[in-house]
Structures are given as C-alpha cells and as structure tokens.
A and B are shown apart, each in its own frame.
Chain A
C-alpha cells in the first residue's frame, strides 16, 4: 500500500539510516548508492517514489529528477541537499521535483516528506516560477494546500540559509498561515485560481508578498479586534466558537514580523522579517 520507494544517496550511513526508518514504517525500499545505479534500478523496476541526494560524485539529483519526470511523470520525487545553495532549490523546482528536504534532517522530517509525496495530487499542486533573480523569486502556485506545502519545502532551503533557527520558524509559520489564508479564504480552494508568492532576500531582511485572487477581507477590523483581545483570551474565544484559531495566526505574525502590511482590498499581504540583531 505504501508503495516502492528508492533512496538515492552515496553516503552509506545516511542511506542505511533512511532505509531502516522507512522500512519500519511499512515502505518497500530500494537503495541506490549512485546516480547511475539509480538509473539502472529505474530501468529494471517500477518505482513509485524517489528520494535523491542532489550532490553525488557521478551525477546530480536534479538531473535524476529530470529523467524520472520525463520517463514516468507519475513517479514522485523529493530532493535532499544542504541549505548552502539557493540555486539548488530553484533548479529543483524547474526539474519537476515534487519536494525538497533540507539536510540535515530528522527522522520525522523524512517521514513527513515521504508521506507528503505519497499523498500528493500533482495536478492540483503546480508551481510556476514567474521570475527568478538571486535573492528575488516570484512563484505562482495552484490554490491548494498541496502546492503550498510543496513550495514551502523548497523555500525552507532558501530561508534556512539566511535565518537562524528561531527566525526561520517565525517566517515558516507566517508563510504557512497567510499562504493557507490565501488558498482557503481568498481563493476558496478554487484550483482554477492561483496564489502569487514573491520572496526577496537582501542583506539581513526577508520580504514576502502573498497575493490571492479573492475579494479580500477587512484586515483593519480583524487586527483591531485581535489587538483589543489578549492572546490567551482570544484562544479561548475561538475555541468556544469552535473555530480554528485562524485569526490568531495573523495576531502572532503581527508580533513576530518586523513589518506587516496589507493592501486595502485585503488580498495582498507584505511581510518583512529581519534576521537577528
């Protein structure tokens, strides 16, 4: 049921650890220790999912992604690499890879990525790169949580490269929260519509713009209500109304972001985070 998954990793220790963890979680595992071994395995067997290291002595995971997606588009593929090269993430998206796992990662991250791969509906999770300059990227994604999760896996590599861990989680949370807002409330899960997400990284500041195609919402009213209510009280109130703590997301971002600006329509948000002091 869980499908056949191939791990492509030249570093034996990592590969064995991954294989063991995934096997114990019910996946059927194939191991390849090089780019070429991966190609041979792909020729011989039907593989449902691939998780491949980007940098290997005899070829790159990005190249492998291109081959896999061309030969058998239904095969899911995740790349794994360090956070040191911003370009890897962008090339990864262009290669058609589905997810990106930033090294080093914990077992739980690996399991989550593999699960995301298994559950992915690719037709509802398109990512287009509208513009790309070092430090400045413009993405257009399908209005779906899948697309957002996919994009975030690639963005994480870029963000981890410039932010310390605490700040990284602030930004990650903000993108998840406001990205989901755009998908759910802005575009109402209509996969015909898109969410535009731009990110700029200059010096020590990360600037993010998220824009949906919806009619927007009254941001001022929300922020005023939120600011008038202390967080714990707000949490209780939302629980009592059995609402998901959505408004709290904005409230938290309002506190962690250095700048939070909405447009008048309430369908575009701009956030800025400064890295450290």
Chain B
C-alpha cells in the first residue's frame, strides 16, 4: 500500500464530496446559544424548526439522569432543565455525530464519540476544578481533538483498515501511524480543522494532543486537552482511585490539583453522560 501522502490528505480534506461539513443547522444553533444577545425565544424557535434536534433534546431532558417524573414536552422546558452549558455541549455532540454518521462504520463512530465525549467532559470538569473558564471552548476542543481519525477513515479507508489490523488505532500513537501509513491523525486533524474553519486554538489541540506534557506549566486549552488525553486510560477504568500511576512533569499545572478529585468529578459527570451519549447515538 502506498504511504498516505500529504497531497492526498490535503486534497481529501478539501474535497467536500468526501468529507462532511459540520451540519449547518447545528452550527447555527451553537452560534445562537453562544451569543449572549440571543433570547430564549430565538434559541427555542431555531431548535423547534429542526424536529430531530428537538426530539434529541427532549429525550435527554426526560432521561433517567434528569429523572423528571412527568414528561417534558416543550423545547423551552427542556432548555431550562438542561441549562445553557449542557445544551451547548449537546448541540456540539449531536453535530459531530451527525456529521460523520453514514460516512464511517457505526462501531468506529461509537468508539470515537465515546472517547471524544469522555475527553471533552474531562476538559470541562478539569477547567472547573482548576477554577478556569474557557467559555466552553475546552469542551469543543476535547470533543474534536481526535477527529483526524475519522477523517483518515473517510479519505483513505484502506489505510484506516490497515491501522485497525495492526492494533487499536486510538492508542497506537502517532509514530506507529506514521510508520504504517505515512501520516498520523494529528496531522490530518489539523488539516480538517483548517478545512472546517475551526478556531486556531481548536486546530492546535487537534494537532498537538499527543505531545509531551513537559511545557504545560500554565493551564491552556491545548495543555488541558493533552492532560485529559493522558488521563483517558484512568478515566476509562471502572475504579478511579489509584493515582500513583499518573506521574506528572515537575511544575505541571495539574500537580497542584488533587488527581483524585478530578477523576471522581469526571466519573460523576460521565455517569450522566454515558446515558446521554447513548440517547444521542441511537
């Protein structure tokens, strides 16, 4: 198999018959929710115009996590129950799932979104624990950080197939990807970010999330994503607790935080998210 050349990748991400664009409806909704001037009237009206989106938000608001006893049947009540922040996160998650569904294998998409939601949630929880506010960009960055994987699947399915044969594509690492197919998902992610016109900071996270934590003395969004990715194996485990095996470089921003606190806080969020994610993917 020919190595995946930069040219093929670049053409691939630019070819809009191949790669999905972010769904316009979701983008519009997100922009509206993010704008402090948007009224609940405008937000609800826009969402109501999209029946599948309305259905998803209602499903989540009525889910066991929120545990409402009687049915919530209007978008306004769903919005109030979910809150601004969760609504925004749900819109982004729904957006990215619907962008790739039908273009990559469902099992792969499910794996990828599970991991991505995990990292995104971890980013927003860690930012909370650290007392930093990035206005939700940390969630977006966490959610999209690994979308280079999806792009490889779409642009070069045969290369993606080879990676899958050689191990777990999510944990094999950029060097092995390079050796096997001549490119890695971080590179591709960066190209994808440019093609999608994502903010620079999000593109940076897509490109640098596997780099070493050495330079991350101060809390930044790319550093946060790196840290969340680094924690993923602990997060995916059933029992958190054991933190001895997550050494941090000296002076790392998280060394002043309690890893136990972080892991427990993320676990708590994931219990809710697990169910929400299932509702969204189904």
The answer to whether B77 and A131 touch across the interface, beta carbons within 8 angstroms, is: no
Whether A134 contacts B37 in the complex (CB less than 8 A), given A261-B68, A264-B69, A270-B68, comes out as: yes
The answer to whether A131 and B84 touch across the interface, beta carbons within 8 angstroms, is: yes
**Considering the chains assembled together, what is the distance between the CA atoms of A268 and B80 in angstroms?**
12
A223 CB to nearest chain B CB (Å)? 10
A55 adjacent to chain B (CB < 8 Å): no
B134 adjacent to chain A (CB < 8 Å): no
The answer to whether B83 and A202 touch across the interface, beta carbons within 8 angstroms, is: no
**Considering the chains assembled together, what is the distance between the CA atoms of A265 and B44 in angstroms?**
27
B259 adjacent to chain A (CB < 8 Å): no
A220 CB to nearest chain B CB (Å)? 8
B65 nearest in chain A by CB position = A263
Write the B84-96 contact mask toward A (1 if CB under 8 angstroms, else 0): 1100000000000
B166 CB to nearest chain A CB (Å)? 46
User: Which residues in window 118-159 of A have CB below 8 A to B?
Assistant: 130-136, 138
Q: Which listed residue (A133, A203, A261) contacts B70, Cβ 8 A? A: A261
**Considering the chains assembled together, what is the distance between the CA atoms of A203 and B40 in angstroms?**
10
A89 CB to nearest chain B CB (Å)? 15
Whether A130 contacts B84 in the complex (CB less than 8 A), given A261-B72, A263-B68, comes out as: yes
B122 adjacent to chain A (CB < 8 Å): no
Whether A209 contacts B80 in the complex (CB less than 8 A), given A132-B36, A136-B43, comes out as: yes
Interfacial chain A residues near B38, Cβ < 8 Å: 133-134
Interfacial chain A residues near B76, Cβ < 8 Å: 200, 202, 205, 207
Interfacial chain B residues near A52, Cβ < 8 Å: none
Q: Which listed residue (A199, A203, A262) contacts B41, Cβ 8 A? A: A203
User: Which residues in window 166-215 of A have CB below 8 A to B?
Assistant: 198-203, 205, 207-209
Whether A134 contacts B40 in the complex (CB less than 8 A), given A202-B76, A207-B77, comes out as: yes
The answer to whether A264 and B37 touch across the interface, beta carbons within 8 angstroms, is: no
Interface of A is mostly: strand
The answer to whether A133 and B66 touch across the interface, beta carbons within 8 angstroms, is: no
The answer to whether A270 and B83 touch across the interface, beta carbons within 8 angstroms, is: no
The answer to whether A131 and B83 touch across the interface, beta carbons within 8 angstroms, is: yes
B258 CB to nearest chain A CB (Å)? 18
A113 adjacent to chain B (CB < 8 Å): no
A272 adjacent to chain B (CB < 8 Å): yes
B131 adjacent to chain A (CB < 8 Å): no
**Considering the chains assembled together, what is the distance between the CA atoms of A199 and B77 in angstroms?**
10
User: Which residues in window 55-108 of A have CB below 8 A to B?
Assistant: none
Q: Which listed residue (B66, B72, B85) contacts A131, Cβ 8 A? A: B85
B132 adjacent to chain A (CB < 8 Å): no
User: Which residues in window 226-277 of A have CB below 8 A to B?
Assistant: 259, 261-265, 268, 270, 272
A198 nearest in chain B by CB position = B80
**Considering the chains assembled together, what is the distance between the CA atoms of A261 and B40 in angstroms?**
21
A219 adjacent to chain B (CB < 8 Å): yes
Interfacial chain A residues near B68, Cβ < 8 Å: 261-264, 268, 270
B70 nearest in chain A by CB position = A261
The answer to whether A262 and B69 touch across the interface, beta carbons within 8 angstroms, is: yes
Interfacial chain B residues near A265, Cβ < 8 Å: 67
**Considering the chains assembled together, what is the distance between the CA atoms of A75 and B38 in angstroms?**
35
B207 adjacent to chain A (CB < 8 Å): no
**Considering the chains assembled together, what is the distance between the CA atoms of A203 and B64 in angstroms?**
29
The answer to whether A136 and B69 touch across the interface, beta carbons within 8 angstroms, is: no
**Considering the chains assembled together, what is the distance between the CA atoms of A208 and B39 in angstroms?**
16
Interfacial chain B residues near A138, Cβ < 8 Å: 83-84
Interfacial chain B residues near A199, Cβ < 8 Å: 80
The answer to whether A209 and B81 touch across the interface, beta carbons within 8 angstroms, is: yes
The answer to whether B84 and A200 touch across the interface, beta carbons within 8 angstroms, is: no
**Considering the chains assembled together, what is the distance between the CA atoms of A131 and B64 in angstroms?**
24
The answer to whether A135 and B81 touch across the interface, beta carbons within 8 angstroms, is: no
**Considering the chains assembled together, what is the distance between the CA atoms of A99 and B31 in angstroms?**
33
Write the B121-155 contact mask toward A (1 if CB under 8 angstroms, else 0): 00000000000000000000000000000000000
Q: Which listed residue (A136, A264, A270) contacts B84, Cβ 8 A? A: A136
A131 nearest in chain B by CB position = B84
- Please name the 8 residue pairs, one residue from A and one from B, whose CB atoms are nearest each other, closest first: A131-B84, A264-B67, A134-B39, A135-B40, A136-B40, A263-B67, A200-B80, A135-B39
- A sample of 24 cross-chain residue pairs with beta-carbon separation below 8 angstroms, ordered by A number, consists of A130-B83, A131-B84, A133-B37, A134-B39, A134-B41, A136-B40, A136-B43, A136-B79, A138-B83, A200-B76, A200-B79, A200-B80, A202-B44, A209-B80, A259-B70, A259-B77, A261-B68, A261-B69, A263-B69, A264-B67, A268-B68, A270-B68, A270-B72, A270-B77
Interfacial residues, chain A to chain B (CB-CB below 8 A): 130-136, 138, 198-203, 205, 207-209, 219-220, 259, 261-265, 268, 270, 272
